[in-house]
Amino acid sequence: MSNTAVMENQKPVRRASGRVPWLDWMVMPTLAVLALVVGYPVVYTLMLSVQDYNLLDIVPGGYVGAGNYSSLFSDPVFWTALYNTAVYTFGSVFVSALLGLIFALLLDNLAGPQFRAVRALLLVPWAVPFVVVAFLFRYMYMQNGGIVNEMLLWSGLIDHPVPWLNNAALAMPAVMVANIWAMAPFFFLLLSAALSGIPNEVIESARVDRARTWSMIWHIKLPFLRNPLIVSSLLMIIANFNDFAKIWAMTQGGPGFSTTTLVVYVYRLAFENFEFGYASATGVIWLLLLLVFAVAYVRALRMN
Amino acid sequence: MSNEETFPSSAALGASSSRTDAWQRSGKVVQMAAIGFALVWSLAPVYWMLSTSLKTELEATRLDPTLWPHEPTLANYIGLGGGTLPFVSFFFNTVVSCFLTALIAVVVATPAAYALSRAQFRLRTSIGYTVLIVRMLPMIVLLAPLYLLLLNAQLLDSLSGLVVGFTTFGLPFAVWMMKSFIDAVPIEVEEAARVDGYPRWQVLLRVVVPLVFPGILTTGTFVFMEAWNNLIYPLTFITSLDKQTLPAALVLTFTGQFKTDWGGMMAAATITTLPLMIAFFAVQRSMVRGLTSGAVAGA
């Protein structure tokens, strides 16, 4: 209290010393580093994207203008990769968000040490490194002796082992299940936090109105969760758009191109064929797509 | 905080009370069953990894998998120490490169975060959002130019090159995370110190830094975790196996060493997971802050 009183008296001092020019310059080291490790590569990518640049060529090819872009649009693998990216991203994010939401609501009412432990245990999958998630599921998906097939056979849901990752139709859903397993805890954690942030008076007054569990969820809790849900979904859409480790370590984009997303495609172009020019053009298209989500995200964040 | 059993209104309703009680009791059963299912879904794969890592090679590849190891053995873990693969180096490389990245990120980011949080220059907001968008750029887009950059700087196939790569996502992340910690420090604390006559830089070092130190540790841990998780940079920038990080080593050696040795693979996976798990639970409480500030966009 007395402290605040002092502050009131000192107001003029506070104002006078408010502006210290060198404070502004403290952002410079960060900007300098980012300019070098991010700014420069982005500009370089734009330049590469209009060149025929293959690392293996002795004489690098020259400027080809929109050449890379036009061949990109007639490249069926590009369209497949774009489609796969959309399926992988939106499918995984939607299901994870739904699972996270359901479990956050289910555990919302439960207090006490045992439920704190449950909450912590539900976060475990998120702490598993992506590469480990990939190998773990690869092991569980094995056709012969894999635990997934074993359990499905045992429960009678299938009558012969399924080659989950070697079947073009099943590989994508199988990879998505692994991804959802790893990502759902993120939504669970964030939505739980949002739920516990609902002011008690709101809950109390709703209870006085004898709101039943369902209407409480529908009319009180879900509206409160809308913004956190939008923000976290956008965040995970961006993250999944960029996801490489899980897909690469599980299927390397196969079989065929069935799990080839844009990241995997660019990686292959650049580091297996060394087609840096073409890969960069693909990267630029993708950068533009991503910017749409990044801008949406920043706007959603501002609104909060 | 709120409550199902304290939903007392129904008891007071008289006539419909017993029906409502029964409805609520069955609701409770469904709720518990769902929670049980969630636990199994979350933990079973991790249990499977641990259990397999303790199995003999023969047992790990059985056509009828055993739920728990019949002859538990540490052979897989011991094998990692003295096997044909330099696992100790993988571990060491990962720890060193991730730690260096975390250190550089917090040292460079903290002043920037302070300026973005407290100073009043014109471009403050724009710079803040630019950093946030940089954070979201797909690493793969930076990959080819970074590769050429490191090639020219003779940093390919070195831990320093790896640290440069990790900085692309670690630094912008740290800026936003630190900003949220600094925003939380009441400005009155700093003003009080200034009133006492301390120059601004001393206020920073003696008042602000100690106050946000837990935030610095948390941010560093986060950057460390993300670098630990990264696969694409080590895979592209490191060419000799003994300089490789754990995640990339798992991918690269799978076709050779671990082709059939799932027990060994799962032991290696467990070792890769453990440090991340420990770090994760150490910062779990402050995680939500990072999530909501927009810093975590996991790449």
pLDDT above 90 (res B185): no
Q: Chain B: nearest CA to A170, how far in angstroms?
A: 20
Supply the pLDDT for residue A175.
95
- Residue B83 phi, psi (nearest 5): -75, -165
Q: Chain A: nearest CA to B1, how far in angstroms?
A: 6
Section A268-276 average pLDDT: 85
State whether B137 and A137 contact (CB < 8 Å): no
Q: In chain B, which residue's Cα lies nearest the Cα of A115?
A: B35
Gap between the Cα atoms of A269 and A277, Å rounded: 9
Give CA torsion, residues A123, A124, A126, A127, to 10 deg: 130
Give CA torsion, residues B73, B75, B76, B80, to 10 deg: 150
- Residue A71 phi, psi (nearest 5): -70, -25
Section A73-93 average pLDDT: 92
Q: Reduced to 3 states, what is the DSSP secondary structure of residue B119? A: coil
Residue for token pair 């533009």 = A288
User: Which residues are bridge partners to A63 per DSSP?
Assistant: A51
Q: In chain A, which residue's Cα lies nearest the Cα of B122?
A: A24
Is residue B59 a contact partner of residue B66, using CB atoms and an 8 Å limit? Answer: yes
Supply the pLDDT for residue A151.
86
**A163: cis peptide before it, omega within 30°?**
no
Supply the pLDDT for residue B39.
92
Query: Could you give the angle at which helices B87-118 and B124-136 cross, rounded to 10 degrees?
Result: 160
**pLDDT band at residue A3, thresholds of 50, 70 and 90?**
very low
Supply the pLDDT for residue A231.
81
State whether A24 and B1 contact (CB < 8 Å): no
Residue for token pair 């008690």 = A200
Is residue A181 a contact partner of residue A133, using CB atoms and an 8 Å limit? Answer: yes
A37-63 residue pLDDT tens = 889 999 988 888 888 777 776 666 677
State whether B175 and A30 contact (CB < 8 Å): yes
**Lowest-confidence segment of A155-164, A186-195, A211-220, B219-228 by average pLDDT:** A211-220
User: Per this entry, what is the length of chain B?
Assistant: 299
Gap between the Cα atoms of B257 and B260, Å rounded: 8
Where helices occur in B119-208 by DSSP H, the ranges are 124-136, 139-152, 159-183, 187-195, 200-203
**Which residues in chain B have Cβ-Cβ distances shorter than 8 Å to A131?**
229, 231, 247-248, 250-251, 272
Supply the pLDDT for residue B104.
95
**pLDDT band at residue A158, thresholds of 50, 70 and 90?**
confident
State whether A228 and B164 contact (CB < 8 Å): no
Q: Does A121 touch chain B (CB under 8 A)?
A: yes
State whether A131 and B121 contact (CB < 8 Å): no
Q: Does A35 touch chain B (CB under 8 A)?
A: no
Contacts of A147 (CB under 8 A, 6+ apart): A140, B48, B65
Section B4-26 average pLDDT: 54
Nearest to A100 by CA among A13, A192, A214: A192
Supply the pLDDT for residue A300.
79
Residue for token pair 């070098």 = A36
Provide the whole-model pTM. 0.84
**pLDDT band at residue A13, thresholds of 50, 70 and 90?**
very low
Section B151-156 average pLDDT: 89
Residue B72 in tokens: 């538990």
Nearest to B286 by CA among B226, B229, B205, B212: B212
**Which residues in chain B have Cβ-Cβ distances shorter than 8 Å to A249?**
231, 250-251, 254
Between B60 and A155, the more confident residue is A155
- Amino acid (1-letter code) at residue B220: G
Pick from A4-13, A189-198, B95-104, B242-251 the range whose average pLDDT is largest: B95-104
Per the prediction, chain B carries an average pLDDT of 81
User: Which residues are bridge partners to A54 per DSSP?
Assistant: A275
Q: Chain A: nearest CA to B119, how far in angstroms?
A: 6
Section B84-107 average pLDDT: 91
Section A268-294 average pLDDT: 86
pLDDT above 70 (res B8): no
Q: Reduced to 3 states, what is the DSSP secondary structure of residue B31? A: helix
Nearest to B46 among A102, A124, A213 (CB): A124
Neighbours of A129 (CB within 10 A): 25
Residue for token pair 């917090």 = B106
Question: What value of ipTM does the predicted structure carry?
Answer: 0.83
Q: How many CA atoms lie within 13 A of A278 on its CB side?
A: 22
Section B139-156 average pLDDT: 87
Q: Reduced to 3 states, what is the DSSP secondary structure of residue A242? A: coil
**Best residue in B67, B140, B171, B283 to probe A by mutation, most A CBs within 10 Å?**
B140
Gap between the Cα atoms of A179 and A90, Å rounded: 12
Q: Chain B: nearest CA to A178, how far in angstroms?
A: 10
Is residue B175 a contact partner of residue A26, using CB atoms and an 8 Å limit? Answer: no
Between B102 and B8, the more confident residue is B102
State chain B's maximal CA–CA distance in angstroms. Answer: 82
State whether A40 and B149 contact (CB < 8 Å): yes
User: Which residues are bridge partners to A275 per DSSP?
Assistant: A54
**pLDDT band at residue B292, thresholds of 50, 70 and 90?**
low
Supply the pLDDT for residue B3.
41
Residue B125 in tokens: 């907001």
Nearest to B148 by CA among A40, A64, A284: A40
Kindly state the DSSP code that residue B157 receives in the 8-state scheme. T
What percentage of chain B reaches a pLDDT higher than 90?
24
Supply the pLDDT for residue A58.
66
Supply the pLDDT for residue A12.
42
**pLDDT band at residue B295, thresholds of 50, 70 and 90?**
very low
**pLDDT band at residue A292, thresholds of 50, 70 and 90?**
confident
**pLDDT band at residue B125, thresholds of 50, 70 and 90?**
confident
Supply the pLDDT for residue A304.
60
Q: Reduced to 3 states, what is the DSSP secondary structure of residue A252? A: coil
Is residue A190 a contact partner of residue A224, using CB atoms and an 8 Å limit? Answer: no
How far is residue B209 from each of residues A196, B104, B111, B205, B221, measured CA to CA in Å?
30, 16, 10, 5, 17
**Which residues in chain A have Cβ-Cβ distances shorter than 8 Å to B287?**
189
